[in-house]
Amino acid sequence: MKTIHVAAGSVNQTPLDWEGNLSRILAIIDQAKSEGVQILCLPELSLTGYGCEDAFLMPNTAERAEWMLGELAKYANDIILSVGLPWRHHHTLFNTAAVIVDGEVVGLVGKQHLAGDGLHYEPRWFSEWPQGEVVTTRCLGKEIPMGDLMFDIGGVRFGFEICEDAWSATRPGSKLAAYGIDFLFNPSASHFAFGKQKLRERFINEGARSCGCVYLYANLLGNESGRVVFDGGPLISNCGDLVASGKRFSFKDHVLSSAHVDIELNRSRVASTASRRVEVKPHPGLVTVKWEVALSDRAPTSLAQHCTYSKEEEFTHTLGLALFDYMRKSYSRGFVVSLSGGADSSAVSCLVFIAIQLAVKELGESGVRDRLAYMALPAESAEWMKVILACVYQASENSGDATEQSAQKLAVAIGAEYQSWSIGKLVDGYTQMVSGGLGRQLTWESDDIPLQNIQARVRAPGIWMLANVRNALLLATSNRSEAAVGYATMDGDTSGGLSPVGGIDKAFLREWLVWLEAVGSDEVGTIPALHYVNSLQPTAELRPSDQGQTDESDLMPYPVLEAIEKATIRDKRSPKDTLTLIADEFGERYSYSQLKAWVVKFFRLWCRNQWKRERYAPSFHVDDKNLDPKTWCRFPILSGGFAAELRELEES
């Protein structure tokens, strides 16, 4: 029995960082070679970075990619390697995977199904490679084959499904299988979304099982370009059995996952599958190279350990990695949060703590120091959080002791710097100034919203100033539920450069805080000081306390808001259909007329506040309900706002 040692690798790249990207790829090749790996699959567009956006259209980007490919090839002897890069052919850009065999680039495979949904905009920059087409292209001074290729390297045969290719109904693997393949390579740039790794495992295992081959799946890793998080976790399936499953959410520059596979056994299984359809002629894009793949006497790798994360754990790891990468890639000296002691700002503060905890756990103190070498971290790691995070409570006359205590206890528990400021005089100053100009006193009876908003706005300049002083990032605390209905003061509590929880709904955020208080993750543990936060009702605390303001009395219960948002925005239901769905889900708890009023309120606020969503700080994508107008959910700023549909609904 002979086996081949194969691997899939994840790398944490940065768009347009030519030298950094190259060095990280060289490092993973080094590791693979030192472990005796013979075949290595690396992620989609991993030379340039997946998120180059319109910089893909700069000729310089493709030129640099070709230069990097040349540098890489010089280094990649004794191995078969695939790496993703943009490639120009006939003045058109294609999303390709290059194959290097023992230091020679032998072919470029074109992606056949471009990703254009959700946050993916590939058709803006790339053209789909037409199925079955093969051409030659000039690469590093030589003519090489390009297109719908299949490879035979010393008798070892493989082909490609490039990310979205494998998600489509017409995946290339099924055609390739008819020609007899030992491996399918899948270089991917597949963004994190809750529960998505299970879905990936399903189609990888299914592709490997139905094609009777080994499937190498290599995803990108980390917060590559700001909003999108890749969870890494390279996978290898042997004929439907997962034999390697690399670490997800790693803080390292790369993760290599390898397995020993017995392709002779797979071939004999394929031969005994009577139902299999065979193409007897050679594949039209067959690239044959004489090079001996080294075989070993090692036994084949048996089933991989599955690591399944709960939704709470996935959120913890994704956001931790996203924040850590954002901080180091933007060279920020930590973060500043205006901490109210409520759920949103507490969650954001905890996430900064988690980012550092997870980084130390995986990289060690010296690894974190290396990554953050641009900032002066104290000698004692126990002091790091004071430098990395500053939290400020900003009391107005409507603030309560409970929120201040909650803020202070949490900041101390996570080791952040804590300050308490009073904004009362500033609020009075503005109120008197405007009252003087108007020639009348502003009152809660006639000026409710302006008197609320001035408090939120007065909190912004001081906290921005502190961020400037510390060269830190000001974190905004808006969540997706508030963004859906514009429940925030523009240039007040929306202030900040990054909005970590802007992609997540408030209902889940509250559940996650309860989980973090009492259950926690293996790596980070619990934060019992969240007890104070979790015992509070969400409130803006902007009206006098005798008015008992809560978010849910201003809006509606958060679970209802989340369900309406899902129906309306994600599933694009009409107001009437949304009400039918909501009545089905919540009909036993709330009256039909109450639910109707909430649906109408949601639609009105949703339409009226698109301009606010255009102005929110960038946030991270964590599921398929994002509201970010630049990368996901486009909606007119000015619109008729479904006036007719809402009137009909109210009259029904």
Ligand X SMILES: NC(=O)CC[C@H](N)C(=O)O
Ligand Y SMILES: Nc1ncnc2c1ncn2[C@@H]1O[C@H](COP(=O)(O)OP(=O)(O)OC[C@H]2O[C@@H]([n+]3cccc(C(=O)O)c3)[C@H](O)[C@@H]2O)[C@@H](O)[C@H]1O
DSSP 232: B
Region of residue 57 (phi > 0: left; psi between -120 and 50: alpha; otherwise: beta): alpha
Q: Which of 147, 138, 74 is nearest to 104 (CA)?
A: 74
The window from 6-14, 184-192, 337-345, 498-506 that contacts ligand X (CB under 6 A) reads 184-192
3-class DSSP state of 110: strand
Q: Which of 66, 111, 164, 517 is catalytic?
A: 111
Residue 375 Cβ, how far from ligand ATP at the closest point, in Å? 24
The reply to whether 292 belongs to the active site is: no
> Which residue in 163, 239, 350, 391 is the catalytic one?
163
Near ligand X by CB under 6 A: residue from 25, 76, 163, 454:
163
b or e along 614-628 (b: 16 or more beta carbons within 10 Å of the residue's beta carbon)?
A: eebbbbbbbbebbbb
- Candidates 161-169, 228-236, 287-295, 433-441: pick the segment binding ligand X (CB under 6 A): 161-169
Residue 376-415 contact track with ligand Y, rule CB under 6 A, x = bound: ----------------------------------------
DSSP per position, 37-82: -SEEE--TTTTT-TT-GGGGGSHHHHHHHHHHHHHHHHH-TTSEEE
44 binds, among ligand Y, ligand X, ligand ATP, none (CB under 5 to 8 A by kind): ligand X
> Restricting to residues 40-99, which ones interact with ligand X according to CB under 6 A?
44
Active-site annotation holder among 41, 44, 139, 313: 44
Q: Is 612 annotated as a binding residue?
A: yes
**Per the structure block, which two tokens stand in for 198?**
């299970």
Q: CB of residue 448 vs ligand Y: minimum separation in angstroms?
A: 8
**Binds 191: which of ligand ATP, ligand X, ligand Y, none (CB < 5-8 Å by kind):** ligand X
Helix, strand and coil content of the chain, in percent to the nearest 5, comes to 40, 20, 40
Please check if 77 is assigned to a binding site. Answer: no
Structure token pair of residue 529:
């000081």
Provide the minimum distance between the beta carbon of 163 and ligand X in the complex, in angstroms, as a whole number. Answer: 3
Structure tokens at 448: 């409710």
Residue tagged 């700002």 (tokens):
345
Which 584-643 residues touch ligand Y, going by CB under 6 A? Answer: 611, 637
Q: How many residues bind ligand X (CB under 6 A)?
A: 9
Judged by CB under 6 A, the chain residues 119 through 158 that form the site for ligand X are 120
Kindly identify the residues of this chain, within the stretch 434-493, that bind ligand Y according to CB under 6 A: 449, 452-453, 456, 482, 486-490, 492-493
- For the question of residue 552 being annotated catalytic, the response is no
Q: How far is the CB of 125 from ligand ATP (least distance, A)?
A: 37
The dihedral built from the CA positions of residue 190, 195, 201 and 207, taken in this order, carries a sign that is negative
For residues 183 and 214, is the Cβ–Cβ distance under 8 A?
yes
Please tell me the distance from the alpha carbon of residue 185 to that of residue 27, in angstroms, as a whole number.
20
Kindly tell me the burial class for residue 3, based on how many C-beta atoms sit within 10 Å of its own C-beta (0-12, 13-18, 19 or more).
buried
Chain residues binding ligand ATP by CB under 6 A are 338-340, 342-345, 393-395, 399, 403, 459, 477, 493, 538-541, 551
Least gap, CB of 627 to ligand X (angstroms): 18
How many amino acids of this chain bind ligand Y (CB under 6 A)? 18
Residue 490 interaction partner, one of ligand X, ligand Y, ligand ATP, none, beta carbon < 5-8 Å per kind = ligand Y
Distance of CA 129 to the CA centre of its chain: 27
248 forms part of the interface with ligand X (CB under 6 A): no
Pick the closer one to ligand X by CB: 190 or 406. Answer: 190
502-541 positions binding ligand Y, by CB under 6 A: 540
CB atoms within 10 A of CB 305: 7
Q: What are the φ/ψ torsions at residue 40 (nearest 5 degrees)?
A: -135, 125
44: annotated active-site residue: yes
Which listed range, 186-194, 305-313, 490-498, 637-645, lies at the site for ligand X (CB under 6 A)?
Answer: 186-194
Contact 212, 239 (CB under 8 A): yes
8 Å CB contact between 65 and 86? yes
* Contact residues: ligand X, CB under 6 A: 44, 115, 120, 163-164, 167, 189-191
Annotated binding site for deamido-NAD(+): 453, 482, 612
Active site residues: 44, 111, 163
Annotated binding site for L-glutamine: 190, 196
